[in-house]
Amino acid sequence: MKYYWILYFFIFTTCWSQQEDAAQIKALYDMSLSDAKGYDWLNHLSNQIGGRLSGSVQAEQAITYTKEQLDLLGLDKVWLQEVQVPKWVRGAPEFAYIETSPGFTNNLPITALGGSIATPSAGIKANIVEVQGIEELQKLGRSKIEGKLVFFNKPMDPTLINTFSAYSGCVDQRYSGAKEAAAYGAVGVIVRSMNLRLDDFPHTGSMSYDGLPLNERIPAAAISTNGAELLSTTLTLNPNILFYFKQNCRQLLDVTSYNVIGEIKGSKYPEEVILVGGHLDSWDLGDGSHDDGAGCVQSMEVLRLLKETGYKPKRTIRVVLFMNEENGLRGANAYAERVAASNERHLFALESDSGGFTPRGFSFDCSDKNFEQILSWKSLFEPYLVHLFIKGSGGADIGPLKNDQIVLAALRPDSQRYFDHHHAENDTFEHVNKRELQLGAATMASLVFLFDKYGTKTNTATSGK
């Protein structure tokens, strides 16, 4: 008979703690949806400051602003971590056209890729060869490429439901296309924008020469998807057309910048850290509202929501706004180096860098044991229509923290519209929906709360408590 009592007691306490968890999570969502501080912060970052390319005045203003706002939250500690970042500047706007015959031209929307060199001051005019990616370039070889421009026109695969997979499937042409084409004697590269929609916005993004000597580097730019369609059709009609472009970008010396960090000290295990973060830098064409202003303000919200709902974390909850994700990852690397040199243990890190759209769930980079525990929390998220709990990548900025013990995770919002805006002039505040943004913040805060309460299933002194 007494075994029944033990069982009843077990069932009772489990139900009770599930109800407690559900109530705390509801409080986080209620607070986020009724007092949308994150949306106000994003409004300021986007409309008062704007695009925040590493090393720019706007990036510095964003550091000052977010630090001030974290100070106002009354956290236990707020500080800046110094980091040297690359400074690439666009210069005067780029210009491009197709010349079908002397004097007959069509202008195309174009943007230099981040990290590219400029064209000569008079621009470059040359024949242009279309390829569907790096493999086709390699097949054509030097005889077909030398002295010409290369047009990488592999589109994102529209049949992939996860648009990030479609992006991964062709972003190599943007990142390494110039280096690859230079090896065959090309004089420049033009890339189709990483965008699933047909429109007139060219999308920038990082590219690399991967150590290629300065005198072998060639300029690289992206044209809009409509521009790419026009260029491709025109080339089909007449392969001998000329393409002209001019860009004025420059790589300057590294400058000093900062990660912005704030934390609530853990009441029971202060040396155990739960990190939540996004990247404060952005590209310069829009104002970086989705990429990644949204992730920054959601991460700041996690600490505010926990505090405002009266939750006292056992572990240290830390927000990190990383500098220079877009063109260097210097902030993330500097942070991971600092962690390695300290005696802090990071047990969980959560990144938001996939836009401020409706949250669908999370992807996790962790052990099976930890994943089992995470799946046991899934039903707590159902009332909020958050269903996706899968294994997958954690994210670029928290990647350097990876080890056998840590759980890395990424917030996974709906991704269907993300690449309409990604790295383009239309990544702006009006394209972020207040409720969607705040739902994301509450979803992150809920997961952080659960990890704080239950710990991870990793073999340490405090695991599972």
Question: Looking at the annotation, which residues are catalytic?
Answer: 325
Torsion-angle region of residue 142: left (phi > 0), alpha (psi -120 to 50) or beta? alpha
- Compare residues 287 and 291 and give the one whose CB is closer to Zn ion: 291
Measuring CA to CA, which residue among 363, 357, 364, 284 is closest to residue 326?
Answer: 284
What DSSP designation does 404 have? S
Other CB atoms within a 10 A radius of the CB of residue 113 amount to 28
AA letter at 138: Q
Measured from the CB of residue 434, what is the shortest distance to Zn ion in angstroms? Answer: 20
| Helix, strand, coil percentages, rounded to 5, for the chain | 40, 25, 35
Element (H, E) at 86: strand 77-89
Q: At what angle do helices 57-72 and 294-308 cross, to 10 degrees?
A: 10
Would you say 53 and 60 are in contact if contact means Cβ atoms under 8 Å apart? no
C-alpha span between 139 and 273 (Å, rounded): 50
- Listed residue (174, 182, 172, 171) closest to 212, CA to CA: 182
CB of residue 292 vs Zn ion: minimum separation in angstroms?
Answer: 4
Residue with smaller CB distance to Zn ion, 279 or 315: 279
Backbone dihedral region for residue 23 (phi beyond 0: left; psi -120 to 50: alpha; all else: beta): alpha
| Residue closer to Zn ion, measured from CB, 291 or 420 | 291
Strand bridging mode 250-264 / 315-322: antiparallel
Least Å from the CB of residue 27 to Zn ion: 30
The rounded distance, in Å, linking the Cα atoms of 300 and 320 is 8
CA 43/CA 40 separation, integer angstroms: 5
The answer to whether 46 and 233 have CB atoms below 8 angstroms apart is no
d(Cα 260, Cα 65) in Å, to the nearest integer? Answer: 10
| In the complex, least distance from residue 328 CB atom to Zn ion, rounded to whole angstroms | 13
Smallest separation (angstroms) from Zn ion to the CB of 353? 4
Comparison of 282 and 316: residue with beta carbon closer to Zn ion:
282
Question: Cβ of residue 321: shortest distance to Zn ion, in angstroms?
Answer: 12
Identify any residues that bridge with 350 across adjacent strands, giving them in sequence order: 276, 409
Binding residues vs Zn ion (CB under 5 A): 291-292, 353
CB of residue 39 to Zn ion, shortest distance in Å: 19
Q: Which is nearer to Zn ion, 180 or 291 (CB)?
A: 291
- Distance between CA atoms of 181 and 276, rounded to whole angstroms? 39
Say how many C-beta atoms besides its own lie within 10 A of residue 383's C-beta.
11
> Whose Cβ is closer to Zn ion: residue 263's or residue 291's?
291
Contact assessment for residue 346 and residue 269, using Cβ atoms and an 8 Å cutoff: no
Cα 331 vs. chain centroid, distance in angstroms? 13
Q: Tell me the closest approach of the beta carbon of residue 396 to Zn ion, in angstroms.
A: 7
Closest C-alpha to 41, from 18, 70, 14, 12? 70
CB of 93 to Zn ion, least distance (A): 23
Q: Decide if 126 contacts 103 (C-beta within 8 A).
A: no
Q: Exposed, middle or buried by CB within 10 Å (0-12, 13-18, 19+), for 253?
A: exposed
Residue placing its CB nearer to Zn ion in the complex, 96 or 196: 196
- Closer to Zn ion by CB, 353 or 425: give it: 353
Which residue's CB is nearer to Zn ion, number 203 or number 457? Answer: 203
